[in-house]
Amino acid sequence: MQGDPLKHEREAWHLGYRRVAGIDEAGRGPLAGPVVAAAVILPASFPVTGIDDSKRLTARRRAHLFEEIRFHAVAVGVGRVDPPLIDRLNILQASLLAMEKAVAEMPVHPDYLLIDGTFPVGTPLPQVSLPKGDARSLSIAAASIVAKVTRDRIMEAYHEEYPQFGFSRHKGYPTRAHREAIRAFGCCPIHRRSFKGVKEGG
């Protein structure tokens, strides 16, 4: 992680905010399954080390950190938007909606948001958008891990329902094997029918 991993949290704390939530999502790029967002409020004395952008971690490491974050965080919220609504809204708006849902699901309501990306979330709460935030903010990195592990587990469950697509391996991303499965079997109910690579095969 770049520099002080709590730099942006400290800036918010200095301004008087106490419940600073990092927000990130997982699943913008897949051809199937939901987009999942997480919001995490960390304590100032967070004892866990090794938190980083979820994409830089192994699945085993993510699973371990997921449990540590859930245990030590002040609050965690998760939001998801499923494929029918993704197709109606578009993936960007669906991702932002998932983030709003994650904030709404927090048992402790935040008073300040640090959001991965360049777009604000539709809430009146004070917020800062941080491009590549999962490499710049410990709270956002923690949220990226929660979102990624949660979504992966959803896709592993869907694999039991639709084993012909191999969701447990690629999690719905547009791998060669996934594209070939779409051509062979067509779409299933969790495919994003508006996405290129799905609408042609379904």
Cα angle: 163, vertex 186, 92; to 5 degrees: 90
CB 151 within 8 A of CB 25: no
What pLDDT sits at residue 50? 87
Cα–Cα dist 57/35, whole Å? 20
Report which residue type is found at 81.
V
Strand 35-41 and strand 75-81: pairing?
Answer: antiparallel
What pLDDT was estimated at residue 199?
77
Alpha helices in the chain (DSSP H): 7-14, 59-72, 83-89, 91-104, 138-161, 167-170, 176-185
Taking only the tens of pLDDT, the chain with its 202 residues reads 667 899 999 999 999 999 999 999 999 999 999 999 999 999 989 888 889 878 889 999 999 999 999 999 999 999 999 999 999 999 999 999 999 999 999 999 999 999 999 999 999 999 999 999 999 999 999 999 999 999 999 999 999 999 999 999 999 999 999 999 999 999 999 999 999 989 776 4
Pick one of 3.40.50.720, 3.40.50.20, 3.30.420.10, 3.10.20.740 as the CATH number of 7-162.
Answer: 3.30.420.10
Its sign, for the CA torsion 59, 94, 22, 128, is positive
| Spatial CA neighbour of 189 closest among 198, 176, 180, 197 | 198
Buried b (16+ CB within 10 A) or exposed e, 154-169: bbeebbeebeebbbee
List the Cα angle 145/69/63 in 5-degree steps: 50
Token readout for 172 is: 């719905």
Q: What are phi and psi of 71, to 5 degrees?
A: -75, -45
